[in-house]
Amino acid sequence: MVRISATLPMALRADSLEAGIERATAIGVDGFEFFRWEEHDAGTVGELCDEHGVEVAATLSAGGGSNIDDFDGPAMTRPESVETVVADVERSLDAAAALGARSLIVTTGPEQPNLDRDAQRASVAEVLDRVAPAAESAGVTVVVEPLNVAVDHPGYFLTDSEEAFEIVESVGSDRVRVLYDVYHQQITEGNIIETVRERVGLIGHFHVADVPGRHEPGTGELNYPNVLAAIAETGYDGYVGCEFFPAGDPDEAVRSVVDMAP
């Protein structure tokens, strides 16, 4: 059975994390994820998880972000930033472990116009390789995310899922995996189900949204019952995260994914 998480506050907007968790639990999700761990007390989050019977599926590493404007400073693609990024990821791994989070999301940052792509890829791989021991010690999986540049994130470095899989393979740690976002990869390359079947062993977390619009599954061109069934058939035991902008009622949008999951 596929486990569903809800991203707060993107999919479920609420006045507080507690209110968001209460709503997510009522909908029937197994976990939740949020972007800025620095804004929340780990002890309080843990108490909320215990109270509502859910867990933190994922959070975002410090210094991370998905918009190019977020990367005017250190980024994984800048060799001179490696030390800073490694430190950010390692302290985020400590925080993720304290939160009981399964995954820590990392983003590569922008493509560097004055640097060879191979050098940028090597810099990304170096960061992931260096944080792998900390991830293994923390029991948290670092998941690096390819994003689309055609619609949402122009200038971002890592777009192709196969390149992401190759980088992760080069690291060789069970605690370094790919965040496979079906929305982004449908825009970038398609071939979703076959990729999932062939590469699921290198995927640590999924995100879902439909194309176009980045709304909930069922609003666009993707056959999400088939996609979710394909994920389940692989034996994948992680989370599928609702990371979308609801087209209608947010609770109903997330509930529709819970109901759709095999």
pLDDT grade, residue 13 (50/70/90)? confident
Of 32, 22, 1, 17, the residue nearest 243 (C-alpha): 32
- Give 209's DSSP letter: -
Per-residue pLDDT at 202: 98
14 band by pLDDT with thresholds 50, 70 and 90: confident
Q: Which superfamily does 3-215+226-245 belong to?
A: Divalent-metal-dependent TIM barrel enzymes (3.20.20.150)
Determine the average pLDDT of the residues in 25-34: 95
Give CB contacts under 8 A, 24+ apart, made by 67-73: 67/153, 68/110, 68/153, 68/154, 68/155, 68/156, 71/109, 71/110
pLDDT, tens digit, 9 for 90 and up, residues 36-93 = 899 999 999 999 999 999 999 999 999 865 555 555 678 999 999 999 999 999 999 9
Q: Where are the beta strands (DSSP E) in 11-54?
A: 31-36
pLDDT at 42: 92
Is residue 11 within 8 A of residue 243, CB to CB? The reply is: yes
Cα angle vertex 207, ends 134, 249, to 5°?
130
pLDDT in tens, 177-215: 999 999 999 999 999 999 999 999 999 999 999 999 999
Average pLDDT, the chain: 94
Task: Give the tens place of pLDDT for each residue, 77-124.
Answer: 999 999 999 999 999 999 999 999 999 999 999 999 889 999 999 999
pLDDT, position 192? 98
In tens, the pLDDT along 116-170 reads 999 999 999 999 999 999 999 999 999 999 999 999 999 999 999 999 999 999 9
